[in-house]
Structure 1
Amino acid sequence: MSALLVPPGRGHHQHDGYQNEHHRYGGHHRHSRAIRLEPVTPQAYRAFLASPAGMALGAGFLQCPSWADVKEGWHSQLLGWGPDPGAGRLTGVALVLLRQFPGTRKSFAYLPEGPVADWADPDIDAWLTPLLDHLRRSGAFAVRIGPSPAYRRWDAARLKSLTGPGRRLRDVLASEVDPLGAAVAERLREQGWHRCSGDGAGEDGDAQPRHVFHVPLTGRTDRDLWSGLNQEWRRNVRRARKEGVEVFVGTAAELPEFYRLLRITEQRDGFRLGRSLAYYERQYAALNAEEPGRMKLYLARHDGEILAAHTMITVGRRVWYQTGASADHRREVRPSNALQWRMLLDAHTLGADVYDMRGVPSTLDPGERAHGLLRWKLGTGGQVVETLGEWERPLHGTANHALYRAFQAYLKRR
């Protein structure tokens, strides 16, 4: 699916583009066609993701079958839409994670950054309705999804000049607006879905980041990528090279060192991911069992000591920088900049369309601690992308609505 991007400053074109998308979805006289939804095998699911049709939908790693093996405490289902899902004739797929609500036989259904489907389809109800029916029969009382269309984008150069006390992304006119995202959001609201949060990256209810950072790679050379870095980034990469920082791809044996550095980073930067070493070992094993090289561990070494470690995940033509960690000392040799530059070049060599640096905070206030992460990623010259975020709805039935309200209260207490 290719998003229709409309630059700001062309109000009538933005309006017309939105109206065109709205017309495709619009009105209350839609006649949904029936699309079959059935459980599918991991082999059929992976084959679809690797097919041209699946690649075009751009599945994220959170919708790969292997992700079910990473998440403890959840049951999972692999589902597929199409004319004959059982025979592998698919048009979309979904990894559904199910978590039982304490004291009941009912479950909360979660599709992280999914389903993998054509959100540009003017009749999204044709495949969402069978999904809801299936989940209700499976004992789910509510469902959360993560639609893939983007909503807005801000270029790095634009944001760097618009920081200020109390400012947030929502205060700045976007560089690009995607009318498809707006149309999908409207359709979901009409069908009883509601956004899990109002703003931020993983804030106020979203489990996955609302705002992410992308470095476009398509059609660019290594020289273009280097020119896209700001002066500080280029200076830091040169410094790391001059100081003899060595970047290499490690193995599972280095995961304990990565985790040690991650704990240092959490304490220094004031956050807590709440994940154990076993979690990352399980993730590394599961993703690479599904496809060798799907998850890589990059490490930066200086004078025989590992100073930084970052993880990278590849699915199709998409590459993600997932988690970064670094030591408190010898930061002047810039190991993290060296790592990111190597990972960016490797993503480009792999033929990726975009290098996704994952979540960024929504604050543009240099006085806020979280702004440092945004500032660091802006230096690569990419774009902040606001996704549609995560959406929830209770499934039909009085008991399900009551349980959903209890579940919301449970989450707030946690």
Structure 2
Amino acid sequence: MCALLVNPAQQDHDQDRELHVRTLSVPEYQAFLARYEGASFLQYPSWALVKDLWRSERLGWHCPDGEIQGAGLVLYRQLPGTRKYFAYLPEGPVADWSDPYLDRWLTPLLRHLRASGVFAARIGPTPAYRRWDATTVKSGGGPGRQISDVLASEVDPVGAALADRLRARGWRRCGGEDDGDAQPRHVFRVPLAGRDLKDVWAGFNQEWRRNVRQAEKAGVETVIGTFADLPEFYRLLRITEERDGFRLGRSLAYYEQQYKVLNEEAPGRMRLYLAVHQGEILAAHTMIIAGRRVWYQTGASADHRREVRPSNALQWRMMSDAHALGAQEYDMRGVPSTLDPTARAYGLLRWKLGTGGQVVETLGEWEIPMDGVANAALHKAFQAYLARR
């Protein structure tokens, strides 16, 4: 049997045992994810139903004896006017990225994709690359400064080795003007494993603790909303986008579809939290639960009565619920890379830093065109097509 984690005593034997790839049924795929528990929600079957402009396939890596060792949700996007596809595995596949014999995973994947008419592929390996604790980030700020200018608190050896191995095989890290990461490169995570809620609370800075108490004193209530509350969430999101100078570009129908399909897959997978004050919803945040992981996905708030701190109240409620669910960490998703206090985007990072978590630089997304000049040209044309959209 070939193990998911390589046994050093068997490496010479296992390196010759290439894994095989085949399409998995939904029950097979879900059974693997249930056993693994560490996969991103973007690798669950329901996510394919959110991305309705893409077709999808569930792949499994298996040993010669048939035991599934890894899995991945592949999203395929057709280049208009051709029969060729771009393949994307968001925050996936779920693989043993510490395996020194990386070709056991990548070779059968690329062979399968090539046979499916794919001209280029993008993957999102899950190992972290670097981490900075909140204190380190705060001390490293200044005009023109970036997170990359600050010495990391920790460098993940698996992520560093994997980056070198991917480069050596012709994969290119995304992040340029035409091929930026679809998922955030820098995220903010609050560790929950091995901590009780008192520890989590103690990790907040004084401002955060004061704001949560202020919300409680003002009578802000935090409740879990329903599908019927999504239009109000979306109205607040448009207000937030205008106030904070960003545009997610998603419609109400997008969030309604996401809520519907994620909760059909597993009741409670996506939750909508509301902060209510004097009968009015002042803030609404979404949370996603998958395995032992929890994500704060999208937040929205009103322009008025901000002094009652509804968003701080919501976050504390959501972290408390994540802790009760046994989550290993509370992922607050993307943060900007700037450490310049004068930059508009810095406010989001500053707000999240107050929870005492860590800035994590993920390994990012990596692309490779399939063999041949024609496929490289199609890849370039596809990037231009997405940029126009």
Alignment of 1:227-306 (within 5 A): 227-306=202-281
- Alignment of 1:128 with 2:106, yes or no, is yes
Matched residues in 1 for 2:256 and 2:297: separation?
14
Paired residue for 1:157, among 114, 135, 138? 135
Query: 1:117 offset after TM fit, Å?
Result: 0.8
1:413 Cα offset (Å): 4.4
Cross-structure match for 1:110: 88
* Stretch moving more, 379-388 or 404-413: 404-413
Q: Which residue of 1 aligns with 2:4?
A: none
Q: Is the 8 A contact 1:84 1:90 kept in 2?
A: no
Q: 2:47 aligns with which of 67, 78, 82?
A: 67
Q: Return the alpha-carbon distance in structure 2 between the equivalents of residues 301 and 165 of structure 1.
A: 38
| Partner residue, 1:44 | 28
- Spell out, residue by residue over 1:7-63, the C-alpha distance to the aligned partner (whole angstroms, 9 max, x if none): xxxxxxxxxxxxxx9xx9xxxxx9553111100001110111111xx12xx100000
* Whole-angstrom CA distance in 2 between matches of 1:96 and 1:342: 34
Contact kept, 8 Å, 2:29 with 2:71, in 1: the verdict is yes
**Preserved CA contact (<8 Å) 1:70 1:283:** yes
Q: Is the 8 A contact 2:73 2:89 kept in 1?
A: yes
1:410 Cα offset (Å): 3.3
Conserved? CA contact 1:300–1:336, under 8 Å: yes
2:302 alignment partner, one of 321, 327, 331: 327
Aligned partner of 1:183 in structure 2 is 161
Matched with 1:12 is none
* Alignment TM-score, normalising by the size of structure 1: 0.89
Question: Would you say 1:404 and 2:379 are equivalent positions?
Answer: yes
CA 1:233–1:100 in 2, change beyond 3 Å: closer, same or farther? same
Q: Which residue, 78, 82, 92 being the options, matches 2:70?
A: 92
Name the CA distance, whole Å, in 2 between partners of 1:324 and 1:412: 26
Counterparts of 2:237 and 2:81, CA distance in 1: 35
* 1:330-409 matched pairs, under 5 angstroms: 330-409=305-384
Measured in 1, the distance between the counterparts of 2:214 and 2:53 equals: 45
* 1:83 matched to 2:94: no
| Structure 1 spans left out of the alignment, 5+ residues | 1-20, 25-29
Aligned residue number for residue 215 of structure 1: 190
> Any conservation in 1 of the 2:286–2:298 contact (CA below 8 Å)?
yes
**Is the alpha carbon distance of 1:110 and 1:101 closer, same or farther for their aligned partners in structure 2, counting shifts above 3 Å?**
same
Deviation at 1:408, TM superposition (A): 3.0
Q: Is this contact kept in 2: 1:197–1:204, CA < 8 A?
A: yes
Unpaired runs of at least 5, structure 2: 1-7
Which stretch of structure 1 is more off in the superposition, 231-240 or 390-399?
390-399
The verdict on how the C-alpha distance between 1:372 and 1:73 changes in structure 2, with shifts beyond 3 A counting, is same
Q: String of CA shifts for 1:182-210, please: whole Å, max 9, x gaps.
A: 110000001110011169xxx96110000
| Matched residue type, 1:293 | G
Q: Aligned letter for 1:184?
A: L
Q: Is the 8 A contact 1:32 1:123 kept in 2?
A: no
The number of residues matched between the two structures is: 381
Aligned residue for 2:56, secondary structure, equals: strand
Q: Which amino acid aligns with 2:146?
A: R
Query: Percent of counterpart pairs with the same letter?
Result: 71
Rounded Cα–Cα distance in structure 1 between residues aligned with 2:238 and 2:169? 43
Aligned equivalents of 1:302, 1:309: Cα separation in 2: 12
How far has the Cα of 1:374 moved from its partner?
0.2
Deviation per CA, 1:239-263, whole angstroms, max 9, x where unpaired?
0000000000111111111111001
Matched letter for residue 49 of structure 1: L
Task: Report how far residue 83 of structure 1 moved.
Answer: 2.4
Corresponding position of 1:14: none
The reply on whether 1:35 has 2:15 as its aligned counterpart is no
Q: Deviation digits for residues 300-347 of structure 1, max 9, x if unmatched?
A: 000000000000001111000000000000000000000000000111
User: RMSD of aligned C-alpha atoms?
Assistant: 2.0
Distance in 2 between residues matched to 1:369 and 1:106, nearest whole Å? 40
Letter in 2 for 1:40: L
Q: Using the TM superposition, give the Cα deviation of residue 411 of structure 1 relative to its aligned residue in structure 2, in angstroms.
A: 3.9
Report SS of the residue matched to 1:91.
Answer: strand
